[in-house]
Amino acid sequence: MVPRKIIIDTDPGQDDAVAILLALASPADLDVLGITAVAGNVPLPLTEKNARIICELAGKPDAKVFAGCAAPLKRKLVTAEHVHGKTGLDGPQLPTPDMPLQPEHAVDFIIQTLRTEPAGTVTLCPLGPLTNIATAFQRAPDIITRVQEIVLMGGAYFEVGNITPAAEFNIYVDPEAAEIVFKSGVPLVVMPLDVTHKVLTTKPRVQAFHDMGTEPGRMVAEWTDFFERFDKEKYGSEGAPLHDPCVIAYLLKPELFKGRMINVEIETTSDLTLGMTVADWWGVTDRAPNALFMGDVDADGFFALLTDRISRF
């Protein structure tokens, strides 16, 4: 089987880091053409640095990492150090990366790659705010029809918000960018909080990473030990959700997930519900479906996949 070509757009973040590791551990299935950093969980200088740290941890210093947009399209940047720590990857001690940052801007890389690769062969995998993707679509509308699919982590329906009462963080940070992407016509698969809150880092699941005896396994365990403190206190849950790896897990084993093809609109004007993904889950409007919006996941199967792949490093 020919590996699926992907671009990972990300704002690492411990869960972003696990998602990137999962992708880089699966070269027979996924061809990571590049990793594009965006401001989100922490500012851009940290997200691009973190992406390079993760690639080196995976033993992939030849991976291409690009820095993208440092701020949302129309708003001031909102970050999440309260969850991920001041570096975005707080927890274990991390080395300064040696691998270089690519000189090209992330948006230019996305545009050029989609123009160069055969149409319908590149999947975009946004794990953070959608600023880079929307900017590329605005700057080069011709690339929109060339995208095979967008599989993203963002939004919520039954779980409502995690940064405001109504909004999930990635969409809230740049709702105008999200609106552009959701209205683009590109096939969309959405991993909302409704799914990610079902893949929890319980003690046995984290212990499985410790037990690998490898540096990536140790890092994953220590990262989850760090950031789960916030979610366990917030939700009273037995562990923290691993949001972003759901995107990569879907590419590897889509049968782990269940969802519906529905209409999803992005709220961009309301003070109360800014960034809300208004998901017509019950089909009560006549708005045309534009996203496969996931609602359930086989959590045990998810962690079995994640543990197997991370153990391959």
Distance CA 160, CA 165 (A): 7
Give strand pairing partners of 261. Answer: 292
Tokens of 289: 């479906």
Give the model's pLDDT for residue 229.
Answer: 59
The parent domain of residue 62 ranges over 4-310
Give the model's pLDDT for residue 224.
Answer: 84
Give the model's pLDDT for residue 13.
Answer: 92
Query: Active-site residue numbers?
Result: 243
SS3 state of residue 259 = strand
Instruction: Tell me the pLDDT tens digit for each residue of 208-228.
Output: 999 999 999 999 999 888 766
Distance CA 137, CA 147 (A): 10
Count structural domains, the chain.
Answer: 1
Give the model's pLDDT for residue 226.
Answer: 79
- The pLDDT confidence band at residue 235, using thresholds 50, 70 and 90, is low
- The pLDDT confidence band at residue 92, using thresholds 50, 70 and 90, is confident
Give the model's pLDDT for residue 66.
Answer: 98
Distance CA 251, CA 188 (A): 13
- The pLDDT confidence band at residue 267, using thresholds 50, 70 and 90, is very high
Quick check: 81 pLDDT over 60? yes
Instruction: Tell me the pLDDT tens digit for each residue of 242-264.
Output: 999 999 999 999 999 999 999 99
Quick check: 41 pLDDT over 90? yes
pTM: 0.96
Give the model's pLDDT for residue 94.
Answer: 87
Q: Which residues of 207-238 are buried (b: 16+ CB within 10 A; e: fewer)?
A: ebbeebeeebbebbbbbbbbbbeebeeeeeee
* Percentage of residues in the chain having pLDDT higher than 70: 96
Quick check: 62 pLDDT over 90? yes
For position 273, which CATH number holds? 3.90.245.10
State the Cα torsion 196-202-208-213 to the nearest 10°: 100
Give the model's pLDDT for residue 231.
Answer: 58
Average pLDDT over residues 293-301: 98
Give the model's pLDDT for residue 228.
Answer: 62
Count other C-beta atoms under 10 Å from residue 56's C-beta: 16
Quick check: 233 pLDDT over 70? no
